[in-house]
Amino acid sequence: MTTREAPTTAPVLHAKGLVKRYGNVTALNGADFELYPGEILAVIGDNGAGKSTLIKCISGAEIPDSGTIWLEGKEVLFKNPLEARAAGIEAVYQTLAVAPSLDIASNLFLGRERRRSGFAGSVLRMLDVGAMNDHARNRMTDLGIMTIQNMAQPVETLSGGQRQGVAVARAAAFESRVVIMDEPTAALGVKESARVLNLIRTLRDRGLPIILISHDMPHVFEVADRIHIQRLGRRGAIVTPESHTMSEAVAIMTGATQVDEHGAHDLP
Amino acid sequence: MDNTRPGATETIEPPGPPEEDTSRMTTLQRIQHALHTRATLGPAIVLLLSVIVFSIVADNFLEPRNLSLIIQQVMVIGTLAIGQTIIILTAGIDLSVGAIMVLSSIVMAKLSADAGVPGLLALLLGFVVGLLCGLVNGLLVTRIKLPPFIVTLGTLNIFFALNLFYSQSETVRGRDMASLLLWTGNAFELGGARVTYGAILMLLLFALMAFVLRWTMWGRHVYATGDDREAARLSGIRTDRVLLSVYVVAGLIYAIGAWILIGRIASASPQAGITYNLDTITAVVIGGTSLFGGRGRIIGTLFGALIVGVFRNGLQLAGIDELWQNFAVGVLVLAAVAIDQWIRRARA
């Protein structure tokens, strides 16, 4: 089960001294990062603080100029998102990356379809539609997203929250070790946001660590175990919803409150 | 799993308009829903209605001989439209259909008639030409990243010029060719109908493509790539490879269309098939496949090709001037695209 206190175990995902420059712009200037097992780590930061560049480096969408990333203690270098995904780092993009006219089961298995056994699967590359539908149904029920009765329903007929559910279920479905969620509630109403946040907690309670990128401070403070505040290309501070209030966190984020990188707050 | 936790069993609410509960929809919404879930329903109804109408207005329409004639009239366009469909499913378009077909047919015919190459080898080399033309289109689309419309507009002229160069603008007569090349025009009698092997070949190709699109990984990836290319890429689909394969397969299908054309007209003419580009797009669009990609069924294209054939044949039998055939086809295209937009609007 989850510990809400400062973790004592080894981090699942760990980065040190990440630097990424785009021409004259330094997006990351020696950023550090740790994600511990079974926690929801929120990453917040002002525009241009390097928040999305940090996530891109972790998810393989960008290659850092220098710095090191470790996944479960092993040094990794991802050249593209597929490599990161193969290693167990799943990202749920803001655009959700679903194919709207395909059905739910097809979307859950998009890009890693199950094939039939034997000749039909290996040579004809035929899909095992039945098995994929069954797995999709189990997965969706398991995560409590199961008012969707029909796995053959096209994703475009679903509501925003349900689509998010499909995208999350997909990210959590394939023995993933880390799930990165980019603004999962940005496009949703109050009720649907609450359900998606619940879904995030459900995943966390199953032991899956989650990186949550969000601008929505109430949502961050509602679900996060720890909050990584990115500022000026590096980690400004790490706070928890218990140790700091929302306005204190925002003050650190915007630079209104200066924090010593090694001193104040819960910096390791 | 932890079922006692409040919220863990909570479910995300059902979609806004209740999709499964059709009883609460208006009639119009129900029609829209039905058309949306079954993409080929519209074309199937139109085909059925047009057959009923023309069997009333034209006496000879329903005779087996006339029905088999319609199939023969659409077998080339229908075959080519299979290739056009898979390209349009990826949100592309192919304007070089006719040019690839003509070039392939001229290569097959001249190799056999002039160079004395055995029929089977000439046929296979013709297929290779179609395949290579498709490969050129595919490479330009995926490597140079040009829009398919521009790529195929360019290659249309290039392939057509090559065809004129190689054929020296001369028609190759059927009697000079190996009989294998003309086989697609051979027929057997079936209950008064004259069934050509070309028509059988077309129907087999439709069945094969329907199977592949529905049941294989490749088919799934074609749809996903056309639906949202970036989403497909992020999901781990090599969309460039999918696109390239689609153009190559389409090129091969056009070459098979070339074979069927030789059988149909018992010759190979460098001027044949000039209008086929737009005719294939017409069949695909009337068949309910969306020009925006990712949506449509290959069987719809068969219906689309048959609808055009039925209209042209029926209007002709009814003694109506040919210009009204074109008028009718134009109305069908506009209606099909308008319906597609209407269905999409409801779901957006």
DSSP chain A: ----SPP-S--SEEEEEEEEEETTEEEEEEEEEEE-TT-EEEEEE-TTSSHHHHHHHHHTSS--SEEEEEETTEEE--SSHHHHHHTTEEEE-TTTT--TTSBHHHHHTTTS--B-SHHHHHTS-BB-HHHHHHHHHHHHHHTT-TT---TTSBGGGS-HHHHHHHHHHHHHHSS-SEEEEESTTTT--HHHHHHHHHHHHHHHHTT--EEEE-S-HHHHHHH-SEEEEEETTEEEEEE-TTTS-HHHHHHHHHTSS---SSSSTT--
Tell me the range of A123-132, A236-245, B130-139 where mean pLDDT is highest: B130-139
CB contact under 8 A, B7 and A93: no
Query: Does residue A192 carry a pLDDT above 90?
Result: no
Counting the structural domains of chain B, the total is 1
pLDDT of residue A149: 64
Answer whether A212's CB lies under 8 Å from A39's CB: no
| pLDDT at residue number B348 | 45
- How far is residue B304's CA from residue B286's CA, in Å, rounded to a whole number? 5
Say yes or no for a CB contact (<8 Å) between B224 and A162: no
Most confident of A169-173, B49-53, B249-253, B282-286: B249-253
pLDDT value, residue A263: 39
3-state secondary structure of B12: coil
Give residue-wise pLDDT tens across range A93-128.
877 788 888 988 899 898 888 898 888 888 888 998
Using CA coordinates, name the residue in chain B closest to A97.
Answer: B231
Percent of chain A past pLDDT 70, that is, above it, reads: 92
How many residue pairs bridge chain A and chain B with CB atoms within 8 Å of each other?
120
Q: Which residue in B162, B100, B84 sits closest to B133, CA to CA? A: B100
Please tell me the predicted confidence (pLDDT) of residue A225.
95
Confidence of residue B138 (pLDDT cuts 50, 70, 90): very high
Higher-scoring residue by pLDDT: A152, A34: A34
Q: What pLDDT sits at residue B214? A: 92
B1, B215, B227: residue with CB nearest A99: B227
Q: Do B223 and A101 touch (CB under 8 A)?
A: yes
* CB-CB under 8 Å, A81 with B234: yes
Q: How confident is the model at residue B1 (pLDDT cuts 50, 70, 90)?
A: very low
Q: Which residue has the higher pLDDT, B337 or B96?
A: B96
Do the chains contact at B13 and A191, CB–CB below 8 Å?
Answer: yes
Give dist(CA A229, CA B115) in Å, integer: 76
| Region of residue A199 (phi > 0: left; psi between -120 and 50: alpha; otherwise: beta) | alpha
Q: What is the pTM of this model?
A: 0.84
Characterise B171 by phi-psi region: left (phi > 0), alpha (psi -120 to 50), beta (else): beta
Q: What is the pLDDT of residue B325?
A: 86
What is the per-residue pLDDT for A72? 92
As a whole number, mean pLDDT of residues A3-13 equals 69
Indicate whether B270 belongs to any domain: yes
ipTM comes to: 0.78
Taking all residues of chain A, what is their mean pLDDT, rounded to a whole number?
85
- The verdict on a CB contact (< 8 Å) between A98 and B228 is yes
- Residue B45: name the closest of B304, B218, B231 by CA: B304
CA A12 to chain centre: 13
Choose from A108, A110, A148, A196 for mutation: most chain B CBs within 10 A.
A110
Would B291 be classed as within a structural domain? yes
Q: For residue A44, what pLDDT band results from cuts at 50, 70 and 90?
A: very high
Q: CB–CB of A101 and B235 under 8 A?
A: no
Q: What is the pLDDT of residues B39-78, one digit of tens each?
A: 788 888 889 999 999 999 888 899 999 999 999 999 999 9
Residue B69 confidence (pLDDT) = 93
Mean pLDDT of B176-200: 92
Instruction: Give the pLDDT band of residue B119 (cuts 50, 70, 90).
Output: very high
**Model confidence at B2: pLDDT above 50:** no
Class (C level, CATH) for A13-100+160-254: alpha beta
**Residues A53-69: b if buried by 16+ CB within 10 A, e if exposed:** bbbbbbbbbbebeebeb
pLDDT confidence tier of residue B269, bands split at 50, 70 and 90 = very high
Q: A18 Cβ partners below 8 Å, 6+ apart?
A: A28, A30, A31, A32, A33, A54, A57, A64, A66, A67, A69
Residue B22 inside a domain? The answer is no
Q: Is residue B13 part of a domain?
A: no
Contact A28, A19 (CB under 8 A): yes
Binned at pLDDT 50, 70 and 90, residue A146 comes out as low
Report, as an integer, the average pLDDT of A213-223. 92
Does any domain span residue B201? yes
For residue B226, give its domain range.
42-340
Higher pLDDT, A174 or A204: A204
pLDDT for res B3: 40
Q: Flag whether B17 is in a domain.
A: no
Looking at every residue in chain B, the average pLDDT score rounds to 88
pLDDT bracket for residue B260 (50, 70, 90):
very high
* pLDDT for position B233: 86
Instruction: Give Cβ neighbours of residue B139 (< 8 Å, ≥ 6 apart).
Output: B244
Q: Mean pLDDT throughout A49-73?
A: 90
Q: Which residues of B touch A (CB under 8 A)?
A: 1-2, 5, 7-16, 19-20, 215-218, 220, 223-224, 227-228, 230-232, 234-237, 294-295, 347
Lowest mean pLDDT among A153-167, A240-254, B158-172, B219-233: A153-167
pLDDT at position A174 over 70: yes
Q: Is the pLDDT of residue B7 over 50?
A: no
Instruction: Please tell me which residue of chain B has the smallest CA distance to A160.
Output: B15
The whole-angstrom distance between residue B290's C-alpha and the CA centroid of its chain comes to 12
Q: Across residues B252-266, what is the average pLDDT?
A: 96
Cβ–Cβ gap B12/A102 under 8 Å: no
> Which residues in chain B are contacts of A196 at CB distance < 8 A?
12
* Nearest-neighbour CA in chain B from A162: distance (Å): 6
pLDDT at B167: 93
Give the closest of A96, A98, A111 to B236, CB-based.
A111
Q: Compare CB distances from A99 to B1, B11, B224 and report the shortest one's residue.
A: B224
B124 Cα to chain A: minimum distance (Å)? 23
How is chain A split into domains, by residue range?
A: 13-100+160-254, 102-153
Position B164 scores a pLDDT of 94
- Nearest by CB: A127 against B19, B217, B294: B217
Task: Please report, for the domain that includes residue B121, its CATH number.
Answer: 1.10.3470
What pLDDT is stored for residue A147 in this prediction? 62
DSSP B74-90: HHHHHHHHHHHHHHHHT
Instruction: Give the pLDDT score at A213.
Output: 92
Asked if pLDDT for residue A15 goes beyond 50, the answer is: yes
Instruction: Say yes or no for a CB contact (<8 Å) between B13 and A149.
Output: no
> Residues of B with CB below 8 A from A96's CB?
231
- Residue B231 and residue A97: Cβ atoms within 8 Å? yes
Q: Which of B12, B19, B25 to mutate to test the interface with A (most CBs of A within 10 A)?
A: B12
pLDDT for B345: 72
Shortest Cα–Cα distance, A194 to chain B (Å):
10
B58 located within any domain: yes
Q: What is residue B59's predicted lDDT score, i.e. its pLDDT?
A: 84
**pLDDT at residue B197 greater than cutoff 90:** yes
